Amino acid sequence: MKQFDCDVYMDLMPLVKDGVASEASGAALQEHLQSCPACRACFEEMTQIPEMLLDTGWKQVQKKLRFRTILTLIVVMICCLTPFVILAIFGGNPISESLIRNHSLKYLEETYPDHDFIVSAPQYNLKSLGYTVEVRSRSSQDTYFVLNYGYFGGDCWDGYSKFVLSGTNTFSRLCDEVSDLVSPALLSALQGTDQRFVHLNSDWPSIYDEFGYPFAAPEEMEISSLEIDGVYDPAQLSAQYGHIEITCMVPKTSAREIAEILTRVYEALSAQGIAVRTLNVNIYDRETAMTVNGFLFTDIPSEDLVDKVQQQADAWKEFQKEYDAWLAERNQ
């Protein structure tokens, strides 16, 4: 009978546990559990299992919440830091600029203690991911150069020797002075031309000498011999080393057109007491082009100027064909 009673109470336990049994059934079960250790143990186990499952599930929920919280924090940090990373890569950053500037000042003070240098704000170079600092002297117009810092402010490249000691800056200044002297007269003679360049000859292509240049090679200025901040006569430099390059469109290319251009240039410059060493003239129409290269300024005032221009234009055209073929063969 007891076994039957226990079976009945065992069927009643889930109902009582879920709260769907009547109060009388619940009271009867509680009374039976007090006198039956086996049923009491079974009911206690039945009520503990859900608590264990609930506890395990809550721990899993907490674990997932912690993972999602950490993941959210990582995403937020990435979103916040990304603009700064992009700015650092594509535009530099104030911290690096300050460090580069301080390093530049210290480097210049240690390397050139006798110079009065000033530096510009570091400029970020996207191509090298480094910085460029412009350096200039307060008292020397030819003393300016750059300090280039490599990848994210790495090794420093000093341009003092290349730009200052080599005479490059001085040469550049003298070219500007000669151009300022010659350009106004050249402009009055060549209104309407496409391009007009005035410069000093200093870097004659050695490869032309190797091939055999048949025309009047310009006298070259030795840049390395120039004195930093030296004073030179622009008119004398122009006559000895000056070179003019002219390019323009004409109704019809001909030696006479080039001769007329050369004559106008010669007359305009001579009226101002100016001379140059050589000229290049390139004219073109809708179909053809014609060039004279290295034409001597002193050869312009002559009665057979048109013939000279034609001869040199033909010689230059033939030379260019031979030179292009030689160069192609040389580079194979």
Domain boundaries along the sequence of the chain? 2-87, 94-164, 169-330
pLDDT of 268-280, one tens digit each? 999 999 999 999 9
* All residues at 6 or more sequence positions from 198 whose CB lies less than 8 Å from its CB, including other chains: 178, 179, 182, 183, 186, 242, 243, 244, 276
- Asked whether the beta carbons of 261 and 309 are under 8 A apart, the reply is no
Average pLDDT, rounded, for the chain: 82
Region 157-172: mean pLDDT is 94
pLDDT reading at 204 higher than 60: no
pLDDT band at 290 (very low <50, low <70, confident <90, very high): very high
For residue 98, give the nearest of 124, 61, 63, 75 by alpha carbon: 124
Tell me if the pTM is above 0.75.
no
Q: Which of helix, strand or coil describes residue 166?
A: coil
Half-sphere exposure in the Cβ direction for 329 (13 Å, CA):
7
